[in-house]
Amino acid sequence: MTYHLAGDSTVESPVDSSPMSGWGGALAEFVDAPVENRARGGATTQSFIDDGLWRATLDALAPGDTVVIQFGHNDQKDAALDSRGGYSERLRGFIADVRARGGSPVLCTSCERRWFEADRVTPTHGDYPNAVRDLAAECDVPLIDLTAFTMWLYEDLGDAASRDLFCHFAPGETAMWPDGLRDDTHFRRAGARRIAAFVARSLRAIERQGGDAPARGAPTVA
């Protein structure tokens, strides 16, 4: 069995922007099966198809494999990929494609951005997480609720400590960004590993339950 990952930069395994990393780049540390990560920075559900990445995923898929799907950060910027329109339609197509090849689809809501107002995180994805939750229920697909988990995680750590999960670098701290960087969307390695560990635990829970029940973010499994 192999885990195939389809998603955007928060999932991607970047080769030229270290120490920035999506959680997919750390998942192999926490699972016993191979990981094939085709997530790409800037990807939407449509561009993932147009760029041939979905076709490559299907071509590599063997019966019994699992495909973990997380989009939304960039779809929300495209009117043609409305949460209840093009976005949900393409996710529904992904589910059907995976099942037709004997694989098991798993849907993820998007990792939340780290936008604090006082001691609370401000949601930034609008209806997109709810659209994924509803689609998972409609299609009887396991759900890993990374929106809920990451909001809890950031708030539990607090504004200052949660910064260490993200690409906040002082000038001269890293050669990639010599002038420094303040990025509350993309993870550094520590953040990627924290999310990947939760995804791995959720996947094990799904597999123990036979792939039938959603796995949702909760403090008890952080």
Residue type, 127: D
| Helix, strand or coil, per DSSP, at residue 128 | helix
CA-closest candidate to residue 68, choices 7, 112, 10, 21: 7
- Render pLDDT for 27-45 as a digit per residue (tens, 0 to 9): 999 999 999 999 999 999 9
Mean pLDDT of the 5-23 span: 86
- Under 8 Å between Cβ of 19 and 176: yes
| % of the chain at pLDDT higher than 70 | 93
Mean pLDDT across 182-193? 90
Average pLDDT, the chain: 91
Provide the residue ranges of all domains of the chain, joining segments of one domain with +. 3-113+126-146+188-221
- pLDDT 10s digits, 117-166: 999 999 999 999 999 999 999 999 999 999 999 999 999 999 999 999 99
The CA-atom distances, in angstroms, between 136 and each of 85, 93, 160 are 15, 13, 34
31 within 8 A of 3, measured Cβ to Cβ: yes
**pLDDT score of 213 more than 80:** no
CATH number at 3-113+126-146+188-221 = 3.40.50.1110
Judged by average pLDDT, the poorest of 46-50, 70-74, 181-185 is 181-185
Name which residue leads in pLDDT, 170 or 95: 95
Instruction: Please give the share of the chain, as a percent, with pLDDT higher than 90.
Output: 80
Q: Are 121 and 112 in contact (CB under 8 A)?
A: yes
- pLDDT the model gives residue 172: 85
Tell me the per-residue pLDDT of 59-100, one tens digit each, with 9 for 90 and over: 999 999 999 999 999 999 999 999 999 999 999 999 999 999
